Structure 1
Amino acid sequence: MLQEKEIEQAKEPLAPACEIRNISEGDVSIVGLKRRISLLSGTALITGTMIGSGIFVSPKGVLERSGSIGLSLIVWIGSGVISLLGALCYAELGTLITKSGAEYSYILESFGGPLAFLFSWISVFILKPAMLSIICLTLSEYIVQPFYPECQPDSYAIKLIAIFFIVTITYVNCYSVSLATSTQNIFTAAKLLAIIIIVIGGVVHLLQGNTHHISKGFEGSKSVSDIASAFYSGLWAYDGWNNLNYVTEELINPRRNLPLAIIFGIPLVTLCYVLVNISYMSVMSIDEILASDAVAVTWGNHILGFAAIIIPISVALSSFGAGNGSCFTSGRLAFAAAREGHLVDVLSYVDMRRYTPSPALVFNAFLSIILVIPGNIESLIDFFSFAAWMFYGVTMLSLVVLRYRSPYKDKHRPYKVGLIDKT
């Protein structure tokens, strides 16, 4: 016979992940996250989050800091390789530790509570809200840009629209996991169409013999220190390669689908990014790219003429999809950390009707709005990239720790990345 207190708790719309349901049938079961994300949705989550605002914002920063077309393309390829290597490490960790939370869960398993606690607080309070803020600010800038063709857009309008999109994206993710993943699939298809338009436009332009911009090669290349800072912008554009690890508990057959989604998704994104940058650089001069606040819009004005309105619409769709993916995973990190007692308990609650971590999602939206008010895109990108990759490095180190603490013969690994170890 169940206690009256348990029955009352089960009637609440929100309950901790360890609460009970199906009271009327006498069953005692766990309220938690459901496995609803397929391989297709998982691949769309990775590509949809990676192909977001970055490819429309970062080309200017990468080119400015590298100094030349040739070197900037090397930075784009190098950033893709780094992201792929990192994701393959995460694939082993994700199939070994099948919990949501990604870095948090892996650091907790490898190094214990204190370091995991530090990561959870920095990520929940700074990194994840900053990511959503950057994406929504970019989305807002591209929406506002066509209304200010001859001058700088009003900063207050940009920030108000960004806040509106933060609230909208959060509502979608709180309402339904199925709605959030369906939104991700649809917007991923839309943004890939936009990428195809830019790539084809660049190819046609090159075939017409317009190679005078891109033929400059490595002319004007800067120093090693400048190149290192160029990777900040490049890696920001690739960020999102680890997002599927945040929702491992909701991924169908994660031991198979997690590595496959990574292997399919990241090379596709790398190819798209390199081709898009070649298209930008074949159409516009270095000075034009550096002077533009909306590189893709400037490209569209050169190539598409009266149809250039397609580009800001496509960027808006792309950024909205990226924001949706970022919000989806951010809530799961706060949920996982709160479940371990490293954040307030309410953030570990799950909506009993929709199976979404609504309190964690709303909390992430609140922090994102706070960062939007005083922030700007460039400073947020630099801050995010430095802090994020510091913890990515710690997470990859946890792979080495787990290899030696629990070698292959002691613990089965469905996927194993190449590494010199005891096995």
Structure 2
Amino acid sequence: MADKEPEALKIRREIGLVGGVALVSGTMIGSGIFMSPQFVMAYVGSPGASLVIWALSGVVAMFAALSYTELGTVIPESGGDFIYILRIYGPCPAFFAAVTFILVVKPFSIAAMAISIAEYAMAPFYPGCQPPELAVKCTAAVMIVVVATVNILNVRLAVRVQVIFLVAKVIALTVIVIGGMVEISQSSAIIVENLNVENSFKGTHYSVSALGMGFFQGLWSYAGWYNLNHVTEELKRPEVNLPRALLIAIFLVTGLYLLVNVSYLTVMTPKELMSSNAVAVTWGNKVFGSWGWIMSVAAALSAFGSLNGTFFSGGRVCFVAAREGHMPDILSMAHVHRLTPSPALIFTTAVSLVVLIPGDFQSIVNFFSFTAWFFYAITLSGLLYLKIKKPELPRPYSVPIILPILVLIVAVFLVLAPIIDDPQIEYLYVTLFILSGAVVYVPFIHYKLCPGLLTKLTTFLQLFLEVAPAEKNL
């Protein structure tokens, strides 16, 4: 009797509603709210405009997340933007999306979060000055490796880490909110000066570039609204839990962000806020005095949870792209015992460490946002195509067509704003890098050259890493 062919591994559905809320909000609440307020204020120039940017960023994130929820229920597969572009537009555009998210968007996001963890963790040791760049980069590299190890070892462990750190960061933000209320009860002079009718919008920069860059920093703090779409195959009852988790998470985060920004403005003038290297530490020093280092620890822990969530979803994009034939086969495999996509996670780690070497927080965020919103626009246009041309498709969840249209307009603005008003050569480099994917796509993906060499390498790595092919979990 012939032996049966071994069944492919299947990634389990381990994420429930609580895990989904933790993954989304836990990724969103991270380095952004502790690092971006000074940059938002610097770009837009006034406290009032800054708060408007934060509120509008929450609205845009909500509309975008709801739009992606419909896509996630129409195309219930992991992979986020890559899988949606593949199913709607075909393999060629999807390959460019895969290359960009795997080599630019996700690694840039991971590197920026790791840098913010390192800066906050080291701030108490370098009071009043910037920590050495080499020390920051080394600490950031260690953080990336630690998070990678957690995600490679066990899915449940990664989700538990996410839930635990979500609780810690919500407590930290609640402390900031309550601390702001206490400061107002004792003296409301600074908050009144910052937010009165005459001063709240005084000095606002109304240029297209300033608003666009302000939105880049604001929306960076909401980055993570799309994370559940990257792990749809690991979500229990996605048609129910996907929209619920997104609504709960984004309402929670938007409310906290606005209250935290108001709290910052209770003790800092706009000038102090813009000149701060770590705004939460500056706030902590003013409110808690010698105990201000507590906020540094809280910010570092918050960013660590966000890094874990980003890593969790980022590895899945690489995994799904490989499974669809757009990356080497080894990246589409899962560990035979742990059932985690370990090769994809290891690859994501390596790319993130490379990106970390030359980058700084502000430039990484700007390039991340420019590139990411370009592909968000393509994905949203695909949703509009499905709603207009294929209304017969089963839709467990549907959004009004006006929502993806509004987010698409915002996405186009965010892509064009920094180029039109203040063009920089770096954006051309990013665009050329995306287009350079054609050099790889034509010979190796379309014509499938050098299959023998790749097969031998795949076999070696498969044995070395103890991995096997994994099938879709629909």
The match for 1:220 among 194, 200, 203 is: 203
Q: Partner of 2:36: helix, strand, or coil?
A: helix
The CA deviation at 1:304 is 1.2
Amino-acid identity (%): 44
Structure 1 counterpart of 2:89: 111
The CA deviation at 1:402 is 1.3
Pairing 1:220-259 to 2, within 5 Å after superposition = 220-225=203-208, 226-259=210-243
Pairing 1:133-152 to 2, within 5 Å after superposition = 133-152=111-130
> Measured at CA, do residues 347 and 280 of structure 1 come closer, stay the same or move farther in structure 2, by a change above 3 Å?
same
Letter of the structure 1 residue corresponding to residue 206 of structure 2: S
Deviations 1:314-338 (A, max 9, x none): 1111011000000000110000000
The CA deviation at 1:420 is 6.5
The match for 2:143 among 151, 157, 165 is: 165
Letter of the structure 2 residue corresponding to residue 143 of structure 1: A
Letter of the structure 2 residue corresponding to residue 334 of structure 1: C
Structure 1: distance between partners of 2:329 and 2:335: 14
Q: Answer yes or no: is the 8 Å Cα contact 1:214–1:278 preserved in 2.
A: no
Structure 2 counterpart of 1:11: none
Structure 2 counterpart of 1:312: 296
> Measured at CA, do residues 176 and 306 of structure 1 come closer, stay the same or move farther in structure 2, by a change above 3 Å?
same
Structure 1 counterpart of 2:260: 276
Letter of the structure 1 residue corresponding to residue 290 of structure 2: F
- Residues matched between the structures, number: 397
Q: Partner of 1:343: helix, strand, or coil?
A: coil
Structure 1 counterpart of 2:411: none
Instruction: Give the superposed CA RMSD.
Output: 1.4
1:396 and 2:380 aligned = yes
Deviations 1:47-98 (A, max 9, x none): 0000010111110110001000000100001111111100000010111111
1:40 and 2:18 aligned = yes
Structure 2 counterpart of 1:416: 398
Q: Partner of 1:354: helix, strand, or coil?
A: coil
Structure 2 counterpart of 1:25: none
1:67 and 2:45 aligned = yes
Q: Partner of 2:326: helix, strand, or coil?
A: coil
The CA deviation at 1:232 is 0.8
Structure 1 counterpart of 2:28: 50
Structure 2: distance between partners of 1:124 and 1:374: 18
Structure 1: distance between partners of 2:128 and 2:174: 28
Q: Answer yes or no: is the 8 Å Cα contact 1:213–1:283 preserved in 2.
A: no
Deviations 1:338-361 (A, max 9, x none): 001000111001111111000000
Structure 1 counterpart of 2:269: 285
The CA deviation at 1:103 is 0.7
The CA deviation at 1:381 is 0.6
Q: Partner of 1:304: helix, strand, or coil?
A: helix
Structure 2 counterpart of 1:368: 352
Letter of the structure 1 residue corresponding to residue 394 of structure 2: H
Letter of the structure 2 residue corresponding to residue 97 of structure 1: I
Q: Partner of 2:10: helix, strand, or coil?
A: coil
Structure 1: distance between partners of 2:303 and 2:132: 20
Structure 1: distance between partners of 2:39 and 2:89: 35
Structure 2: distance between partners of 1:220 and 1:45: 38
Deviations 1:126-163 (A, max 9, x none): 11011000000000000111101132211100000000
Structure 2 counterpart of 1:15: none
Structure 1: distance between partners of 2:129 and 2:297: 20
Q: Gaps (5+ residues) in structure 2?
A: 404-474
Q: Partner of 1:163: helix, strand, or coil?
A: helix
The CA deviation at 1:2 is 5.1
Q: Partner of 1:350: helix, strand, or coil?
A: strand
The match for 1:333 among 298, 303, 317 is: 317
Q: Partner of 1:91: helix, strand, or coil?
A: helix
Structure 1: distance between partners of 2:128 and 2:281: 13
Deviations 1:11-65 (A, max 9, x none): xxxxxxxxx3xxxxxxxx3312110100000001000000010111110110001
Q: Answer yes or no: is the 8 Å Cα contact 1:46–1:241 preserved in 2.
A: yes
User: Which aligned segments of 4 or more residues in structure 1 are displaced greater than 3 angstroms?
Assistant: 1-4
Structure 1: distance between partners of 2:356 and 2:27: 19
TM-score relative to the length of structure 2? 0.82
